Amino acid sequence: MKRFLGILLTAALLFSAIVPAFAAPAAEPFSELENDGLPIILVRGMDGDALTVDPGDGTSRLALEIDTEELTSALFKAFKAGLFGMSADKAVDELIAYANDVCKYIACDKTGRPVYDTTIQTYPLALSEYPAMLDGSEGFSESNIARSAAEVYGAERTYYFAYDWRENPLDVSDDLAEMVDRALLESGKDKVNIVCASLGGTETVAYLTEYGYEKVNSCVFVSSAFSGIYLASDMLSGRITVDGDVLANYVLYSMQDNAVGSFFVKALKSVGVFNLLARFTNSFIDKNLDKVAEGFLRDNLGYIPSFWALVLPEDYEEAVSTVFGDDLEGNAEFIAITEELHQMVLGRDELLRAAAADGVHIAVIAGYNKPSAPGYARSTEQGDGTLDTALMSGGATVAPYGKTLGDDYVAADASKLSPDRVIDASACLFPDATWFVKDSPHVGCRYGSEYADFLFWLVSAEGQPTVNDSPLYPQFMRTDSEQNLFPLQ
């Protein structure tokens, strides 16, 4: 019954988006530490609004575009079919038809290539050639980092890497390699600094896998998916479930500025409404998942390579069996792509450790204290509202959302236990070069903020930055709505 079960991953991702330490003097202002003029490349994450397609009728449109009126109409038709037609099947058919119409333009074929001709705004030259990226008119998170970087390092040596997020990261790495070479040629330097955000962490790992790290001076992973996503592994492996407490926590978090709404939600939780809703939802999933998967998910979303680069190594075999088990031969070409990405993931940690040992300065920033979206087995974990803290940090031990590791928990290194006893950084891939920011948004670093100052302090450090280098930037911090930073007490 769980055939193609896990492709629900893509829908959830689209709508949630879609490293030896020693004491050192206090940090110098980042503007005084510019790595002797090294160029900086920002590798952005997923951007669902950046893709446009030609449907073949002489027009162009966003590849993923949700019209509120059309969505309302589709929901009404489904409700009408279910209520007046007394048929849940007809209601599901209406929703599938709408979902097919909305998502068909982002579909890839069995070779992992986009079905429709796609255009994406790219920035192959230095940002000095793109005034709109420097005047604040581009509003997405990574553009704010790019704007700040241009002021700190100079627009003529700041580069912004945008790409089609659906494509095979190992293929995308060719374009990133071209940008690296251009930056080196134009700057006259022999190394670059890389900042990679969200899915950009995966793309950067792909570049390092294909081209090595000889041209990289530093690499900062910001809210990055370089170690995968629980959502990807659970859903592609068929572990789809709704937990009542997770659902309640998610709704409560969205109501945090609404006292009346929060009170109402807490009351509903106390009488078991969310547990009842979870049972109903899980029953609906069990009855209709195959129909939704075969009628919509596999062909529209199932052949997007980048999602397979997010699957944890231990879940890969189960994910392939779950998604393609009924037709392994017919999907052999795409499965070969997923296997290549799996091998990249298997070699990731060793590759990053080798890079650090050879002098690449690696730093990791992870946010926490926000609930995960409901719908998958490990949704009890916490993160920054989009990605999981444990994986963003490269392996930290993290308490479930709303809980601590306990008063009796003993960390392998007491200095790596957060003051609120939520995180133990001992197990991180780079425990002395991983920072945690409580209440951080996904891909923070707002223009002109202290968070941005912190990011560029990491990029500009003359050696490997560590959590012991500055009292301004200890391993555990918190942030406010203006993205000021404070040591976590």
Given a cut of 60, whether residue 20 has pLDDT beyond it is no
Q: Is 152 left (phi over 0), alpha (psi -120 to 50) or beta?
A: alpha
Helix ranges (DSSP H) in 310-431? 316-324, 332-346, 348-357, 389-392
Q: Which amino acid is at 392?
A: M
Cβ contact 150:127 at 8 Å: yes
pLDDT at 393 over 90: yes
Cα–Cα distance measured from residue 55 to residue 49, given in angstroms and rounded to the nearest whole number: 16
Average pLDDT over residues 164-188: 96
Residue 475: other Cβ atoms inside 10 A: 23
Cβ–Cβ under 8 Å, residues 182 and 124: yes
pLDDT the model gives residue 19: 31
Percent of the chain with pLDDT over 90: 58
Integer angstrom CA distances of residue 111 from 17, 168, 301, 334: 25, 10, 13, 5
Q: What is the pLDDT of residue 257?
A: 81
76 contacts 91 by C-beta, under 8 angstroms: no
Q: Which residues contact 91 (CB under 8 A, 6 or more apart)?
A: 78, 79, 81, 82, 85
* End-to-end CA, the chain: 49
What class does CATH assign to 5-50+121-230+347-487? Answer: alpha beta
Residue in 421, 439, 309 with CA at minimum distance from that of residue 383: 439
* Residue range 423-469, pLDDT digits in tens: 999 999 999 999 999 999 999 888 889 999 999 999 999 899 999 99
Phi then psi dihedrals of residue 61, to 5 deg = -155, 165
Work out the angle at residue 296's Cα, subtended by the Cα atoms of residues 8 and 276, and round it to the nearest 5 degrees: 50
Check residue 22 and give its pLDDT. 29
Predicted structure pTM score: 0.89
Angle between helices 244-254 and 259-270 (to 10 degrees): 170
Mean pLDDT of 365-393: 94
- Determine the average pLDDT of the residues in 347-367: 97
Nearest to 237 by CA among 67, 5, 443: 5
Cβ 196 vs Cβ 226: under 8 Å: yes
Kindly calculate the radius of gyration of the chain based on its CA atoms and give it in whole angstroms. 23
Share of the chain above pLDDT 70, in %: 89
